[in-house]
Amino acid sequence: MFSLKNKTAVVTGGGSGIGKAIAVLFAKQGATVHILELNAETAEATANEIKDAGGIAHAHACNVVDQKNVVDLFEKIGTLNILANVAGIAHVGKADTTGEADFDKVMLVNVKGVYNCIYAAIPQLRKAGGGSIMNMASIAALVGIPDRFAYSTAKGAVMAMTLSVAKDYIAESIRCNSISPARVHTPFVDGFLKNNYAGKEQEMFDKLSKTQPIGRMGTPDEIAALALYLCSDEASFITGCDYPIDGGFVKLNN
């Protein structure tokens, strides 16, 4: 079950965190994985890790905000079966403390970047006779998260985009779903704590972990396992759905 043998997958943001976990797992399950990253070095590092484990991977430097860059790269990659839109950035701020430049940057990466990749992927998915698109949303699109105005807005757009794509391409056997994680322990979290809570990293880590009713943060591997299911043939009856993976945050915190 959950074999991706003979499938080609593109994973954006595959150089670290959740994107890396997805790229590694997809390759382990037999897919040829193309890793798209703004940072070429991290993309290469993930690709090399996959190759060392016997998998097939290719690293590509790509700015998902630049549509021409994205389209040219997808045309070079060719026929696709899977697109995992994971690349994104975070931002801390309320509506009146979020500057215009920061708001625009979050929208560009987290919304336009997803659109650009879907725009470029659809023709390549058609060549394969269909396939799966998996977008990374967030529980921030489902519940109010303090100080996450721009991020929540962007992830809400990703969720709506997922529904629109699922509806528009269902007759072409192109499925589209999204995943909404709560807090996941990634290098980003460690960097955030180091930069904002120097000397109190462990205290804040424990505090953030306990905001999930299950008592801990998720792991990138757990998110990757759900992504694998949604992008596999076993999920061929699923489209237009969002899946919270949140340690009970959405349903049990009220």
Residue 236 structure tokens: 């061929």
Neighbours of 61 (CB within 10 A): 16
Q: Transcribe 152-169 into DSSP letters.
A: HHHHHHHHHHHHHHHHHH
In whole angstroms, give the CA distance from residue 158 to residue 174: 17
Separation in Å, CA 34 to CA 59, 129, 194, 216? 6, 19, 31, 31
CB of 172 closer than 8 Å to CB of 126? yes
Two tokens, residue 39: 């940072």
The two structure tokens encoding residue 137: 């949303």
Output phi, psi for 25, to 5 deg: -70, -40
Q: Which of 119, 151, 169, 197 is catalytic?
A: 151
Q: Which residues contact 24 (CB under 8 A, 6 or more apart)?
A: 46, 49, 50, 53, 55, 224
Tell me, yes or no, if 151 is annotated catalytic: yes
Burial 175-184 (b: 16+ CB within 10 A, else e): bbbbbbbbbb
| Catalytic positions | 151
